[in-house]
Amino acid sequence: MKILVVGGAGYIGSHMVKQLVLSNHDVIALDNLSCGYEDAVKYGELVIGDLGNKETLDQLFNAHQFDAVMHFAAFIEVGESVLNPAKYYQNNVANTQVLLDAMIKHDVRNFIFSSTAAIFGEPEYTPIDEKHSKQPINPYGRTKLMVEQILEDYDNAYGLKSTCLRYFNAAGADPDGELGERHNPESHLVPLILQAASGRREDIKIFGQDYPTNDGTCVRDYVHINDLCEAHSLALTRMQATGQSARYNLGNGRGFSVKQVIDTSKQVTGIDFKVVTTERRAGDPAVLVADSALAKKELGWQPKFDQLETIIETAWQWETTFFK
Ligand code: UFG
């Protein structure tokens, strides 16, 4: 298939491009490099441009007959989305609509969308399945839910088929060591811990230890980047076979506390780095764990890197080679 990967130079997008090319798909990555890196597109072709630019999209869609579009080009910082919601609504919603309209104009009707656990808001029960109510508590989560809603309407009106994949905590790196996580500034737990282990950061701060969990720190469901990418490929195959839109929650179904992730990282790296406990970070639910039974049943998704140790080992390999 010929696939357009929007945000293909970012963390998840670059892993997706590699996996698709190695599975013999013809891939074009579109990225404006606001958060992505040119050298992260090691496979396929990179077009530097913005998903909100109609002319760029017209040129791309005129030059290539795409079978599908995958969209990874959103801003992802919850805290920033509260302080600067305009940036989030502009890129994550308005620009995404420009992309969807270009798809319809050029008769490309298969879309895979990076959604998030943040669309659910404060969990009412755990693990979280697809039926859980969707009441996001920050602008970031709202932008993702809005796109899911737009997609429902676009399916009804224009026959645009979509699969929304709600990631829980994407983590880890390419096991070949070619790609990894490079956010700037970094805000995610696993890379921050490993920066403390490698000495690029003085310490790791635990944001609150008075949560109603076993050890008082927040519990999350960490899922390996390659397993997430695999789910996209399976979702595309299924969507083309059934001609139906779908939504899936993606996680391993097991939660680990911040302290457990730190302890496992100490074991994996063999380094005893400094840990400091600070105040809670605003907007963090105590526990976020996915029920991915539907993805397993309908997509045949079976995570291969589901051990926390493996997730951290691959991220550590990246931290110690790329940033050396
Ligand atoms: N944490 C720390 N110290 C840090 C960084 C994080 O204790 O230096 C804690 C957080 O408070 C949280 C956990 O580690 O409890 C995980 O935090 P991340 O920032 O790595 O991930 P989040 O769970 O906040 O965010 C993830 C995605 C978001 C998405 C969100 C859905 O990265 O894009 O899940 O709730 F919005």
Same domain, 88 and 207: no
> In this prediction, what percent of the chain has a pLDDT beyond 70?
100
Other Cβ atoms within 10 Å of 261 Cβ, number: 25
Q: Residue of the nearest CA to atom 30 in ligand 1?
A: 118
Do residue 154 and residue 104 come from a single domain? Answer: yes
Residue for token pair 């357009």: 4
Q: Is the pLDDT of residue 324 over 80?
A: no
- The string of pLDDT tens digits covering residues 130-143 is 999 999 999 999 99
Q: Is residue 241 scored above 90 in pLDDT?
A: yes
User: How far apart are the C-alpha atoms of 152 and 161, rounded to whole Å?
Assistant: 9
Q: Which amino acid residue places its CA nearest to atom 12 of ligand 1? A: 218
Using CA positions, which residue lies closest to atom 18 of ligand 1? 188
Nearest to 316 by CA among 200, 208, 229: 200
> Would you state the pLDDT for residue 283?
84
Question: Residue 183 falls within a domain, yes or no?
Answer: no
Reading the block at residue 66, the tokens are 């795409």
Mean pLDDT of the chain: 97
CA of 189 to the centre of ligand 1 (A): 6
Does residue 179 lie in a domain region?
A: no
Q: If you measure from the C-alpha of residue 141 to the centroid of ligand 1, how many angstroms do you get, rounded to a whole number?
A: 13
Residues 96, 199, single domain; the answer is no
Q: Which atom of ligand 1 is nearest to the CA of 204?
A: 8
H-run or E-run covering 161: strand 161-167
Q: Which of 210, 233, 250 is the last residue of a domain?
A: 250
Same domain, 63 and 138: yes
Catalytic: 140? yes
Centre of ligand 1 to C-alpha 188, Å, is: 6
Give the pLDDT band of residue 57 (cuts 50, 70, 90): very high
Q: Is the pLDDT reported for residue 258 higher than 80?
A: yes
Question: Per residue in 34-48, pLDDT tens?
Answer: 999 999 999 989 999
Supply the pLDDT for residue 282.
86
What is the domain extent for residue 264? 189-220+253-322
Task: For residue 248, report the phi and psi dihedrals to the nearest 5 degrees.
Answer: -135, 145
User: What is the CA(190)–ligand 1 centre distance, in A?
Assistant: 9
Q: Which of 3, 60, 13 is nearest to 37 (CA)?
A: 13
The one catalytic residue in 11, 140, 167, 248 is 140
Q: Domain containing 197 — which CATH number? A: 3.90.25.10
**Residues having CB within 6 Å of any atom of ligand 1:** 76, 78, 116-118, 140, 169, 187-189, 192, 204-207, 218, 220, 258, 281, 284, 288
pLDDT at res. 323: 85
Q: What is the pLDDT of residues 169-218, one digit of tens each?
A: 999 999 999 999 999 889 999 999 999 999 999 999 999 999 999 999 99
